Amino acid sequence: MKTITVFSPAKINLFLAVTGRREDGYHDLVSVAAPVDWGDSVTIEPRLPAPGQPPEFSLECNDPAVPRDGTNLVLKAAAAFRAATRWRSGARFVLEKKVPMGAGLGGGSSNAVAALRGLNELAARPLDAAGLAGIASQVGSDCALFLPRVPVVMRGRGERVEPLPAGAAARLRGRKVLIFKPDFPVSTAWAYERIAARAGYLALAQAEARLGAWIADPAAPAEGLLFNNLEAPVFEKHVALPALAAELSARFGLKVLMSGSGSSCFALLPLQGEAPLEALASAIRAAWGPSAAVVETALR
């Protein structure tokens, strides 16, 4: 049986409006998320069970901080795939991790979708796009955004996903972006609890109007889309984030936005001329310490 390796991209949220809390405890949102050319990889090696033994899934990872038990979304996705398809084989997953945890970059969710894609290929595609989306939404709220592999609009708790209209997506595709993360994570659950405590929501009608206006204007640059109302509670606690954002704005003219619930931030790099990448990386590490991660990549 063949082995397959699937690329697992990180994502950034170019627009994120948390619009309110639902009765089930989740939050409603409107968001534009775009995958990037940088990420992890998931290698899947099918394993036939030993005689008389049930098929098993196992996970190995180069990052010792990544859990390897049933709490990992890769193994959750594999279990959900088996339940949906009755696939009788096991598999060994090898996760090559580059995207840090607690970063707001969707690494774990992307890994889960990569595992689903790979298993579906190995099993001769028993699931169509709708079937994969259904399982992805079961595994995690933002898993489904990674299925189209293009910029998407997310609604609901993140499970309602549709590709961004083609003209709008063209304004994003290929844009160079600098992603940078301090050496601390931010808990997604904590960030959403804080925005609830602050009642810092953006009304749904306002969120849709703001997004709709950007989509409808073919001259609107990608920078005009940038918004994230989760920044306020996170920036209030982690003051190093807004301090660096202000410095990069003053020194380099860049608009910095936090991705998701953080702690990663990003800046779209200028369309014209060479970005001063060495100076930017130096400024980031001077502010956040030498362990700060800095990655140049591009929107897909």
The set of catalytic residues is: 11, 142
- Cβ-contact 83, 76 below 8 angstroms: no
- Cβ-contact 114, 98 below 8 angstroms: no
Place of tokens 């990420």: 39
**Tokens at 166, concatenated:** 């083609």
Place of tokens 């189209």: 148
C-alpha distances in angstroms, 187 versus 95, 129, 234? 22, 31, 10
Q: Which long-range contacts (CB under 8 A, 24 or more apart) does 201-204 make?
A: 201/18, 201/19, 201/20, 201/229, 202/17, 202/18, 202/19, 202/229, 203/19, 204/19, 204/20, 204/28, 204/30
**Tokens at 253, concatenated:** 């003219």
